[in-house]
Structure 1
Amino acid sequence: MSQDNAQKTQTPFERVSPQEFGYNTKQVDQFLARARATFNGTGDDAAAVTSHLVRRTAFEPQKGGYDAREVDTALDRLEDVFAQRERDALIEAEGEDAWLQQIGRLSAILRGRLHRAPGERFRRPTRRGVPSYNVEDVDELCDELIDYFEHDTPLSVDAVRRVMFREAKGQEGYEESQVDAFLDRVVELMASID
Structure 2
Amino acid sequence: MTTDAVKQTDTQTAGASSFRIATGRERGYHRAAVDTFLAAARESFESDSGELSAEDVRIASFPLVKGGYAIGDVDAALGRIEDAFAARRREEAIRDGRAEEWVLRARAEAQVILDHLARPRRQRFARAGFLSFGYRVDEVDHVANRIVRFLRDGDALSVEQLRSAAFRMQRHGYREEQVDALLDAAIEVMLAVR
TM-score, structure 2 length as denominator? 0.86
- Correspondence for 1:90: 93
- Correspondence for 2:9: none
How big is the alpha-carbon RMSD for the aligned residues of Structure 1 and Structure 2?
A: 2.0
- Correspondence for 2:177: 177
The 1-side partners of 2:133 and 2:93 are apart by 39
Quick one: structure 1 residues 19 and 139, their matched pair in 2 at CA, closer, same or farther if it must change by over 3 Å? closer
Does structure 2 conserve the Cα–Cα contact (< 8 Å) formed by 1:122 and 1:175?
A: yes
- Correspondence for 2:46: 40
| Residue pairs, 1:139-154, within 5 angstroms | 139-154=141-156
Residue 111 (structure 1) aligned to one of 108, 111, 114: 114
Shift, 1:136, TM fit: 1.3
Provide the secondary structure at the position in 1 that maps to 2:96: helix
Quick one: structure 1 residues 83 and 118, their matched pair in 2 at CA, closer, same or farther if it must change by over 3 Å? same
Paired amino acid for 1:97: E
Shift, 1:12, TM fit: 2.1
Residue 22 (structure 2) aligned to one of 16, 20, 36: 16
- Of 104-113 and 16-25, more deviation after overlay is shown by 16-25
Shift, 1:166, TM fit: 2.3
Q: Percent identity?
A: 32
Quick one: structure 1 residues 102 and 10, their matched pair in 2 at CA, closer, same or farther if it must change by over 3 Å? same
Shift, 1:93, TM fit: 3.1
Unaligned runs of at least 5 residues, structure 2: 1-13
Per-residue CA shift, 1:107-128, capped at 9, x if unaligned?
Answer: 1111101211111111112x33
Unaligned runs of at least 5 residues, structure 1: 1-7
Moved over 4 A (4+): none
Provide the secondary structure at the position in 1 that maps to 2:134: strand
The 2-side partners of 1:143 and 1:182 are apart by 13
Per-residue CA shift, 1:148-167, capped at 9, x if unaligned?
Answer: 11111111111111112221
Shift, 1:147, TM fit: 1.1
Shift, 1:27, TM fit: 0.6
Paired amino acid for 1:33: A
Provide the secondary structure at the position in 2 that maps to 1:153: coil
Paired amino acid for 1:189: V
Shift, 1:62, TM fit: 2.1
Paired amino acid for 1:168: Q
- Correspondence for 2:102: 99
The 2-side partners of 1:120 and 1:63 are apart by 39
Paired residue total: 182
Residue 138 (structure 2) aligned to one of 130, 136, 143: 136
- Correspondence for 1:71: 74
TM-score, structure 1 length as denominator? 0.86
